[in-house]
């Protein structure tokens, strides 16, 4: 006698039974210890594939294990449904991003449900749902009110043909992934969150992470990247503007021999407007097109820059030093202005 094991029929049967029994709904229960098992919300790009299985099996195994250990486990699922991939797909297919995204969510949900994961689907959310992102907006307003959200100039990958900003992943070999146009670096006014306000606390609280590998802790410390120093103000001799710089080495102020501005610093335009130096600045910026911030600051990249025709007055000794703009000075780091001390690394801002 040979009986075939009918996977499809049996899985369907039990999946239905679990669903009817509302087996994985998490309700408050003071008696049992709580556990929150949150897995990364998938981007709804289409039907479930093996990448989802590899990823979500782990979380599900953990959730099931902890339930067996008597814990009250909340294991939710949601969709990371906002973003450029939906926009790209919409452009490609001519389908509205909303229709495309919700269609994919339905497909992926069906796939994950067939896999029998123990999610509490009553808690499902989607980041593209106005009921969800109204809270993101609310958070943003709270950050803004507290001075933690601010606007600043920063480099961005810019496709002149699509007329849009591109994520690093969308730049392939220096070209736009959509249209193959050479990507430019453009200084754009962008929103930032002042995470540096928490650098000190993040660093000191890392002492509480016992049992973590030292390599991970070091990586985190470098990422937090708090540097101690002070702000010093130089004055432009010819025009009188004040330029603040941040230095970790105020003791080297006496050795300053020249002064540098990031190419996208607003003063570069202001100081060279209508002067013979403007042409050099334009040519210099042309050379920087298509060069990323990472390449610009790489040690292998040749240092490049032009004189702006003006001088900075050193506040400690009144000395006048020439002001240049240079490729390795970045607007988003420090104040976008650097004093150069030849005896020390000019990258030490």
Q: Kindly indicate which of the ranges 178-186, 191-199, 260-268, 289-297 contains the residues binding Zn ion, using the contact rule CB under 5 A.
A: 178-186
Hey, which residues between 181 and 200 contact Zn ion (CB under 5 A)? 181
Nearer to Zn ion among residue 177 and residue 332 (C-beta): 177
CB of 164 to Zn ion, least distance (A): 7
Q: Kindly indicate which of the ranges 47-55, 139-147, 170-178, 291-299 contains the residues binding Zn ion, using the contact rule CB under 5 A.
A: 170-178
- CA–CA gap between residue 19 and residue 21 (Å, rounded): 5
List the x/- string, 138-167, binding to Zn ion by CB under 5 A.
---------------------x-xx-----
Q: Kindly indicate which of the ranges 138-146, 177-185, 220-228, 243-251 contains the residues binding Zn ion, using the contact rule CB under 5 A.
A: 177-185
Nearer to Zn ion among residue 107 and residue 165 (C-beta): 165
- CA–CA gap between residue 26 and residue 32 (Å, rounded): 12
Site membership for Zn ion, residue 178 (CB under 5 A):
yes
- CA–CA gap between residue 127 and residue 224 (Å, rounded): 27
Q: Kindly indicate which of the ranges 12-20, 77-85, 171-179, 261-269 contains the residues binding Zn ion, using the contact rule CB under 5 A.
A: 171-179
CB of 100 to Zn ion, least distance (A): 20
Nearer to Zn ion among residue 48 and residue 176 (C-beta): 176
**Of all residues in this chain, which one has the CB nearest to Zn ion in the complex?**
176
Q: Supply 59's token pair.
A: 């979380």
Hey, which residues between 311 and 330 contact Zn ion (CB under 5 A)? none
CB of 133 to Zn ion, least distance (A): 27
Nearer to Zn ion among residue 78 and residue 85 (C-beta): 85
CB of 163 to Zn ion, least distance (A): 8
Nearer to Zn ion among residue 74 and residue 176 (C-beta): 176
CB of 263 to Zn ion, least distance (A): 23
Hey, which residues between 102 and 131 contact Zn ion (CB under 5 A)? none
Binding site for Zn ion (CB under 5 A): 159, 161-162, 176, 178-179, 181
């Amino acid at each position: 006698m040979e009986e075939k094991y009918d996977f499809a029929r049996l899985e369907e049967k039990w999946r239905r039974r679990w669903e009817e029994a509302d087996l994985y709904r998490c309700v408050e229960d003071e008696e049992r210890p709580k556990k929150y098992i949150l897995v990364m919300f998938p981007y709804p790009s289409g039907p479930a594939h093996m990448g989802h299985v590899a990823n979500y099996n782990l979380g599900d195994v953990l959730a099931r294990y902890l339930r067996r250990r008597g814990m009250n486990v909340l294991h939710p699922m949601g969709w990371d449904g906002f973003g450029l991939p939906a926009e790209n797909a919409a452009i490609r297919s001519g389908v509205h991003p909303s229709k495309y995204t919700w269609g994919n969510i339905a497909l992926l949900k069906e796939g994950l449900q067939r896999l029998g994961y123990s999610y509490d689907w009553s808690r499902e959310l989607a980041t593209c749902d106005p009921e969800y992102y109204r809270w993101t907006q609310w958070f943003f307003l709270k950050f803004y009110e507290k001075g933690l959200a601010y606007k600043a100039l920063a480099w961005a990958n810019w496709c002149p043909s699509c007329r849009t900003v591109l994520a690093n992943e969308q730049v392939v070999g220096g070209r736009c992934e959509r249209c193959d146009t050479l990507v430019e670096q453009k200084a754009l006014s962008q929103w930032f969150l002042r995470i540096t306000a928490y650098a000190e606390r993040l660093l000191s609280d890392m002492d509480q992470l016992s049992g973590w590998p030292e390599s991970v802790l070091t990586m985190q410390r470098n990422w937090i990247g708090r540097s101690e120093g002070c702000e010093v103000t130089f004055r432009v001799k010819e025009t009188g503007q004040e330029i603040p710089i941040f230095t970790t080495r105020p003791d080297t102020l006496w050795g300053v021999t020249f002064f540098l501005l990031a190419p996208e610093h607003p003063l570069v335009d202001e100081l060279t407007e209508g002067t013979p130096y403007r042409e050099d600045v334009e040519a210099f910026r042309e050379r920087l097109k298509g060069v990323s911030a990472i390449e610009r600051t790489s040690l292998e990249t040749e240092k490049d820059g032009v004189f702006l025709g003006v001088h900075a007055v050193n506040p400690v000794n009144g000395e006048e030093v020439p002001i240049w703009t240079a490729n390795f000075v970045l607007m988003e780091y420090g104040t976008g202005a650097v004093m150069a001390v030849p005896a020390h690394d000019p990258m030490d801002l």
